[in-house]
Amino acid sequence: MSQITQYKKFKAELAVAETFEELRTIEAKADALAEFASKEKIGKELQNEWGKFRVEIKAKKGAWLEDKFPKGVRADRRVAPTATVEMPVTEHESSNARLIFNEPGLVNDAINKIIDDDKVVTPSSVATEVRKMLIEIQPSNSTFNSTNDNIEWAKWSWNPMTGCKHGCKYCYARDIANRYYTEFKFEPHFYPERLMAPKNTKIPKGKEDKPGYKNVFLCSMSDIGGEWVPVEWVNTLIDIMEKSPEWNYLLLTKNPKKYLEYKWPKNCWLGVTADTQKRATEAVKIFKQIEHPIKFLSCEPLEEKIILSENPSFHWLIIGGRSESSGMPAGQPKWEWVETLINQARKYKIKVYGKPNLKALPKEYPL
């Protein structure tokens, strides 16, 4: 069969191709023939046609991806995943799933591997394969960061994603991000190169049984429950937490309803920040719907008096003051607010942890 005949044949096949496997097969044949045409020094005009044809194939593959995965790949870590239901799009989700981890081509490669393994291409299967590939390609020298005295309940922090959209005036993390993260500032961003930290970090010898040395504050520079966070970011972190049971991962969010959407590993502690009564009420409402080994409420900064409902269904209470930031000065809660919380915790047998920045103490006189 002549080059021209083959070219026309492949053009006809491309016009009716519907599956990614068909497109990939045509592309492989076209690549082989184009290479042959180049080596045999077949007419320049025909070589140019082969080149245009290859571009056409890649464009149709791209269109196929956009059509099948227009809003990112759906997770299989959701409580009730449904492969045919699309995720809502946020401004930080790419319309092209291949860019969701800033790693162009991963979805394409994942689909190729699924086809090679004779498996079915679905959003869920692609999501799983992308996460595996993402972790495998990362550098192996990243580790956890040691925390300072302000986060003494966890000796480590790990920030594979940073950035937040809550806009809290008292946020000190925003100041840190704007100072040190010069490229992205406090805009949400995912760092695949940090994913090997759990594997690479070792507890110092002799500290294995010391409080806090197995505790990792996950996403201390962001909110894992933020509405802007793509599902695949969360799924990837869940996969890694599950595969590193030697660590306790402490999570904090101001959007606790997100906890209801995922299957969380037993070695993560589900925390909610409640600086006000409204947030505390919402947190307890969600906690009562979740069965999990450790749930905790972090009232830092404690900005007003908080009354817990009956049997609040969490295990640990953290109380703290307000650290200084560019948005607000340092501040302390009233002792009455602190005392009210501690008394309620004692009533419900909840453990209490006072942060180093909590200076509120009773100053009472007998007269």
Is a pLDDT exceeding 60 seen at residue 77? no
Cα–Cα separations (whole angstroms), residue 278 to 66, 296, 346: 41, 16, 22
Residue written as token pair 């989700």: 93
Is a pLDDT exceeding 70 seen at residue 98? no
Q: What pLDDT sits at residue 71?
A: 42
Which residues contact residue 308 at a Cβ distance below 8 angstroms, ignoring those fewer than 6 apart?
A: 280, 284, 341, 344, 348
More confident residue, 6 or 255: 255
Give the phi and the psi of residue 225 in degrees, each rounded to 5: -95, 5
CA atoms within 13 A on the CB side of 63: 11
Could you give the 3-state DSSP secondary structure of residue 238? helix
**Looking at 78-82, 107-111, 124-128, which range is the least confident one?**
78-82
Q: Model-level pTM?
A: 0.70
Give the model's confidence band at 52: pLDDT under 50 very low, under 70 low, under 90 confident, else very high.
confident
Is a pLDDT exceeding 80 seen at residue 74? no
Q: What pLDDT sits at residue 100?
A: 41
304 close to 280: Cβ distance less than 8 angstroms: no
Summarize the confidence of residues 197-220 as an average pLDDT: 93
Give the model's confidence band at 12: pLDDT under 50 very low, under 70 low, under 90 confident, else very high.
confident
Q: What pLDDT sits at residue 96?
A: 30
More confident residue, 180 or 91: 180
**Three-class secondary structure assignment of 173-191:** HHHHHHHHCCCCCCCCEEC
**Looking at 4-18, 171-185, 217-231, which range is the least confident one?**
4-18
Which residues contact residue 42 at a Cβ distance below 8 angstroms, ignoring those fewer than 6 apart?
A: 3
82 close to 74: Cβ distance less than 8 angstroms: yes
261 close to 156: Cβ distance less than 8 angstroms: no
- Mean of the per-residue pLDDT values of the chain: 82
Stated as kind and residue range, the H or E segment containing 297 is strand 295-299
- The domains found in the chain, sorted by start residue, are 1-68 (no CATH), 145-354 (3.20.20)
At 119-143, the pLDDT tens digits run 777 766 777 777 777 666 656 688 9
218 close to 158: Cβ distance less than 8 angstroms: yes
Q: Which is nearest to 94 in space by CA: 221, 233, 219?
A: 233
Which residues contact residue 303 at a Cβ distance below 8 angstroms, ignoring those fewer than 6 apart?
A: 275, 276, 322, 333
Residue written as token pair 């969380």: 264
Summarize the confidence of residues 179-197 as an average pLDDT: 88
Q: What pLDDT sits at residue 53?
A: 78
Q: What pLDDT sits at residue 26?
A: 78
Summarize the confidence of residues 67-74 as an average pLDDT: 48
DSSP letter assigned to residue 220: T
